[in-house]
Amino acid sequence: METNVTIKKLSNRFPGAIIETHSHRGDDTAVVKKESILEICTFLRDDEALLYNFMMDLTVVDYLGREPRFEVVYHLFSLRHNRRVRIKARVSEADAIIDSIVPVWVGANWFEREAFDMYGITFKGHPEMRRILLYEGFEGHPLRKDYPIKKRQPLIGPIN
Amino acid sequence: MGVTFGKESASRRIVPGGTVSDGPERLLDGSAILTRLQAAVNWGRKYSFFLYPFVTACCGMEFMSVAGPKYDLDRFGAALPRFSPRQADLLMVVGTISHKQAPILVKVYNQMTEPKWVFAFGVCAVSGGFYNNYSVVQGIDTLIPVDVYVPGCPPRPEMVLDGLLKLQEKVAKERWSDWPRGAAPVTPMLKKQE
Amino acid sequence: MSDLMKDLHTEHMVINMGPSHPVTHGTVKFLVTLDGENIVDMKVDIGYLHRGFEKMCESGTWQQVIPYTDRLNYVSPLINNVGYALAVEKLIGIEVPERCQYLRVIACELSRIADHLTNVAAGGLELGAFTAFLYFVEARELVWDLIEMLCGARVTVNFVRIGGLKNDLPQGFQDKTRAVFKECRRLWNDVDKLLTKNRIFIDRVRNVGDISAEEAIAYGFTGPCLRACGIPYDVRKAQPYLVYDRMDFEVPIGETGDNFDKYLVRMEEIQQSMKIVEQALSQLPDGPINLDLPQYRMQPKEDIYHRIDSLIFHFKTVIDGIKPPPGEVYFAVEGANGELGFYLVSDGSGKPYKCRVRPPCFPLTAAMPRLMKGRLIADIVPTFDMINMIGGECDR
Ligand code: SF4
């Protein structure tokens, strides 16, 4: 099947690093071990049959109560083959570190900073790991499921 | 007959010993006006707002329309946006103010010279709107005094013009003792770690 | 001369542009290190309009997300609406009726026209071409009249529903569109004459902010900014959604990716979008605009008032929200600034577990330092404008 090319190639090349795959609603997805994320991304970008030259999106999903708790989700797109793939890597709360993919796609820089800001995942090897949308001094990571939606941390407020 | 005046001034006559009203008074068959300085100054102020557009979000789109050809804020004497707070006297807060933005808003407000007015444009500036969450200030009146609230998400240009007229009415009634208002009554809450 | 330059050692100066600065028409802060007028280094600080979009989405039902999507890219809200609705429909596995698809195409393209008009208008304004601003704001006002006719609101439209639309085409829309487009084309021609061959304008934008195609791809550029580099990537053509595959339109591309090319691409896209709207209107089929699936799309109001089953479904979908099956999808549409993707995760409940939007102008803004290093400080103005950063979308 044409649509499964990526997943097939990935599982042939990295048999030990693919945890599971699915193609729900036609979106090819591979869950990979977080240790090999950099290697896999480089492969996906450079392999002639894949050529995923766009890092479209990077985000994190917080599955509170599940272990490992976080899933870092990458959406890649190949202009040449007009194909998309979703790569996911699971990261636990205690060890919320994953390799940065900035060496592969420079565009990932801000996306990773945002993921750090919102979910507190640290990207190892990132050139500038600090908050991007919120401000220094903000405590906690608002998009985690256990952050109360109305917990405010104003920089400035009324005298009382 | 001399100079003719608008309806308001022509309709009032000085009655010796009578009460003095706030509006312009006519003397000597219209060749001189007697009025209170305060009323004259307010009249001047209300038709010459210099606004500082503190545009942050979607309401800015409507702000562009209001300033643009069809609705034309110019007709009400509030045409020229000044991008220096020192030269402006009407602070238009257009859009959502997040907590990250709040210190900047207060700084701009404090830099403006008195007298100054604040126009809350859109429901986000009025009350935070439907963003009741960790990052949005729940109404700019928690930070700085506000003169006119124009709700709507975003308000239609007609509402904005109406708000401006309301502000003009308010300015016309002001007294010397209303000024100065002083700095915004706020204090830093979170120590910024540099 | 070179000796003189060596002796004249100047110190670098750091200045702060923004977050409330006339050219930063979103709220963004540039920390520029200058050597004379040349930019040595630049840091971009965003987040001044972070409004907690995702957190708000996670706290409401699936339908309640739609008003929030309006306020992402508030210059082209209809595209956001459509993108989100399509993503949810993909998650559920349904497809809306044909007429609805056509109407969505019309809505999207009207929004795209308004967006590009605004962008060029603001760009002209910031470079001193005030007339172009006035002309295009007038044109946008006309397009907004159409949008208002269609959905009842000017900016924050809230028009698209999951599985359908709020309402059908109003009467007289076709005629009005014809009149509006005629006027728009006239204004377009005027602005074209005012800007495209204008020495001052060209000097400010030509060869400024250029980037090679490979680099643009690595940075994650999409939309007009990528097409200006010569890559004809348009989601509408690459992965046609709705009925874009039945439309006859061209994807304009540039060569160098500089600001002038971005401007030309946008100008041409206005024309193409008008063409699409006209085609869609002429091909428009009859039929329903809503799906007949009461657990996902509300039944017509008359039914809700007169039939008990419709009332029950209405009650359920309003109180609990619709319940897409568990799973995750990513769906991309061509937003006004580039690929607008929605990544949704459902856990089977009435609320989105995760509602992520891929903001097209986020990677564009991230590339500002790359575009500006070694340039003059005055070049920030046109470059930042042609990036078209929209605060609501970039900061969410
Ligand atoms: S009031 Fe509405 S339109 Fe205005 S800034 Fe807030 S959300 Fe945007």
Q: Taking the domains of chain C in order of start, what are their residue ranges?
A: 53-394
> Residue B108: how many CA atoms within 13 Å on its side-chain side?
27
pLDDT of chain B, 194 residues: tens digit per residue: 344 444 444 444 544 444 445 556 666 666 777 778 888 888 888 888 888 888 888 888 888 888 877 788 888 888 777 888 888 888 888 888 888 888 888 888 888 888 889 999 889 888 888 888 888 888 888 888 898 999 888 888 888 889 989 998 888 888 888 888 888 888 777 654 44
Pocket test for ligand 1, best of B54, B55, B59 (most atoms within 8 A of CB): B59
CATH number of A5-124: 3.30.460.80
Burial of B38 (0-12, 13-18, 19+ CB in 10 A): middle
Ligand 1: centre distance to CA B96 (Å): 6
* Domains of chain B from N-terminus onward: 48-172 (3.40.50.12280)
Q: What are the φ/ψ torsions at residue A19 (nearest 5 degrees)?
A: -85, -50
Distance in angstroms (rounded) separating the CA atoms of residues B190 and A134 = 13
Which residues sit with their C-beta closer than 6 Å to ligand 1? Answer: B 57-59, 95-96, 122-124, 129, 153-154; C 71, 156
Ligand 1: centre distance to CA C28 (Å): 18
In tens, the pLDDT along A80-129 reads 888 888 888 888 888 888 888 888 888 888 888 888 888 888 888 888 88
For residue C67, the chain B residues in CB contact (below 8 A) are 130
Q: Residues 6 or more apart from A129 whose CB is under 8 A from it?
A: A112, A113, A116, A122, A123
**Other CB atoms within 10 A of residue C128 CB:** 13
pLDDT of chain C, 396 residues: tens digit per residue: 567 666 666 778 888 887 877 766 768 888 888 887 888 888 888 888 888 888 888 888 888 888 888 888 888 888 998 999 999 888 888 888 888 889 889 988 998 999 999 888 888 888 888 888 888 888 888 888 888 888 888 888 888 888 888 888 888 888 889 899 898 899 899 888 888 888 888 888 888 888 888 888 888 888 888 888 888 888 888 888 888 888 888 888 888 888 888 888 988 999 899 889 988 888 888 888 888 877 778 777 778 888 888 888 888 888 888 888 888 899 989 888 888 889 999 888 888 888 889 888 888 888 888 888 888 888 888 888 888 888 888 888
Cβ within 8 Å, pair A134-C47:
yes
What share of chain A has pLDDT > 70, as a percent? 97
| pTM of the predicted protein model | 0.86
Q: Which atom of ligand 1 is nearest to the CA of B153?
A: 2
Identify the chains in contact with A, defined as 3+ C-beta pairs within 8 A: B, C
Burial of C54 (0-12, 13-18, 19+ CB in 10 A): buried
Distance of CA C329 to the CA centre of its chain: 21
Q: Which atom of ligand 1 is nearest to the CA of B61?
A: 3
pLDDT of residue C301: 79
Report which of B49, B178, B189, B54 is spatially closest to residue B109, judged by C-alpha positions.
B54
pLDDT of residue B189: 75
Say which CATH topology domain C53-394 has. Answer: Cytochrome-c3 Hydrogenase; chain B (1.10.645)
For residue C47, the chain A residues in CB contact (below 8 A) are 131-135
pLDDT of residue B2: 42
Report which of C202, C207, C200, C196 is spatially closest to residue C371, judged by C-alpha positions.
C207
Mean pLDDT score of chain A, rounded to an integer?
84
How distant is the Cα of B33 from the closest Cα of chain A, in angstroms?
Answer: 45
